[in-house]
């Protein structure tokens, strides 16, 4: 496939323009590039472009007559999927880059915060108290990772390298390296969930994962820690608060929310058992965005297999 006209939009379009100009990529020679703020994308831009590059469709997005390829600057493609109908034959690719590593490090930092009693020791230091608590080794915990794709698999690799027993939940239940065991989503059982000390969600938002983590799910847990790096809409907040109150959950670390920024009126802000971070567990840096885009462009034009192509027929 040959691509000449490329429309680049989204919140980092200026940075992408600077990097592309500065680096003078061979792959971009002879290409026509339009860089636009989201609100400035016109119908003419949409009709003109053969490639549409952005975190999400612009509010006026439609499949223009020349469009051949859509590339997401983020890993999550829910906003593209929620367009409803996808035009046949147009590949949708995404940017995953270092997301697996970033989400692993984010999660590991909060797991270690608990196991090494960081907060307890900080409180004791404030009152000059010498209280011994023995840190809990990582290899003693049982972790369940929801999603065994590129990101979930990297999380399993990172944690298992410290001896953590990592269990996975996926659509297919296909076994993968670094997981003790992967189960299909329909085989989730009370026994499986009750043994979990930590749960990390890396799943995309689909009709199946919408409010997947609700009352029924939390009721099966016993004093577990829930870390959400997937999408906020996968969690029912009132069920989460209840689970924190009744001990099904010990604590929650939330990086993603259905409404972002999380409204200041949301009771989660004041809940001492909740840690809130502003959707930073996996950020696409402009450098990584450009590298992934240029690489994908070269694969598209070389008719090579696209490892980062989204399977539009698959949900979770
Ligand atoms: C981040 O959440 C992304 O989807 O890129």
Which one-letter DSSP state was computed for residue 265?
Answer: T
Angstrom distance (rounded) from CA 144 to CA 16? 36
Residue 309 pairs in a beta bridge with 93
Residue 35 pairs in a beta bridge with 8
Per-residue pLDDT tens digits for 178-224:
999 999 999 999 999 999 999 999 999 999 999 999 999 999 999 99
Active site residue 279: yes
Residue 315 reports pLDDT greater than 80: no
Two tokens at 189? Answer: 């059982």
The model carries a pTM of 0.94
Q: Which helix (H) or strand (E) holds 294?
A: helix 286-301
- Kindly give the number of the ligand 1 atom that is closest to the alpha carbon of 94: 5
Q: Say if CB 276 and CB 268 are below 8 A apart.
A: yes
Q: Kindly report the protein residue whose alpha carbon is nearest to atom 5 of ligand 1.
A: 74
Active site residue 124: no
Q: Kindly report the protein residue whose alpha carbon is nearest to atom 2 of ligand 1.
A: 76
Catalytic residue from among 260, 287, 301, 307: 260
* Confidence label for 122 from pLDDT (cuts 50, 70 and 90): very high
Question: From the CA of 130, how far away is ligand 1's center (Å)?
Answer: 43
Residue 314 reports pLDDT greater than 80: no
Catalytic residue from among 71, 231, 237, 241: 231
- Cα distances (Å, whole numbers) of residue 275 to 17, 42, 255, 268: 35, 40, 8, 9
Pick from 76, 77, 231 the residue to mutate for probing ligand 1's pocket: most ligand atoms within 8 Å of its CB: 76
Active site residue 113: no
Residue 316 reports pLDDT greater than 60: no
Pocket of ligand 1 (CB under 6 A): 74-76, 282, 284
- Kindly give the number of the ligand 1 atom that is closest to the alpha carbon of 279: 2
Summary mean pLDDT of the chain: 96
* Confidence label for 312 from pLDDT (cuts 50, 70 and 90): confident
Angstrom distance (rounded) from CA 154 to CA 138? 17
Pick from 56, 282, 292 the residue to mutate for probing ligand 1's pocket: most ligand atoms within 8 Å of its CB: 282
């Amino acid at each position: 496939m040959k691509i000449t006209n490329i429309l680049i939009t989204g919140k980092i379009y200026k940075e992408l323009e600077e990097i592309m100009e500065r680096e003078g990529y061979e792959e971009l020679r002879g290409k026509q590039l339009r860089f636009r703020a989201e609100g400035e994308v016109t119908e003419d831009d949409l009709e003109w472009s053969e490639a549409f590059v952005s975190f999400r469709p612009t509010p006026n997005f439609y499949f223009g007559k020349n469009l051949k390829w859509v590339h997401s600057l983020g890993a999550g493609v829910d906003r593209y999927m929620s367009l409803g109908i996808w035009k046949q034959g147009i590949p949708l690719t995404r940017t995953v880059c270092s997301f697996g590593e970033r989400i692993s490090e984010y999660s590991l930092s909060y797991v270690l915060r608990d196991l090494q009693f960081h907060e307890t020791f900080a409180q004791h230091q404030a009152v000059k108290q010498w209280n011994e608590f023995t840190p809990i080794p990582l290899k003693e915990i049982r972790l369940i990772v929801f999603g065994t794709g590129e990101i979930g698999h990297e999380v399993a690799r990172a944690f298992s390298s410290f001896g953590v027993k990592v269990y996975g939940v996926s659509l297919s239940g296909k076994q993968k390296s670094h997981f003790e065991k992967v189960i299909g989503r329909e085989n989730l059982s009370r026994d499986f969930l009750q043994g979990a000390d930590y749960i990390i969600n890396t799943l995309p938002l689909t009709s199946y994962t919408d409010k997947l983590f609700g009352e029924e799910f939390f009721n099966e847990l016993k004093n577990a820690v829930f870390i959400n790096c997937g999408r906020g809409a996968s969690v029912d907040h009132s069920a989460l608060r209840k689970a924190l109150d009744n001990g099904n959950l010990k604590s929650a670390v939330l990086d993603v929310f259905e409404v972002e920024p999380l409204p200041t009126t949301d009771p989660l802000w004041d809940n001492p058992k909740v840690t809130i971070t502003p959707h930073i567990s996996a950020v696409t840096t402009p450098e990584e965005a450009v590298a992934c885009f240029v690489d994908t462009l070269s694969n598209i034009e070389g008719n090579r297999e696209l490892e980062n192509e989204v399977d539009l027929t698959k949900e979770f």
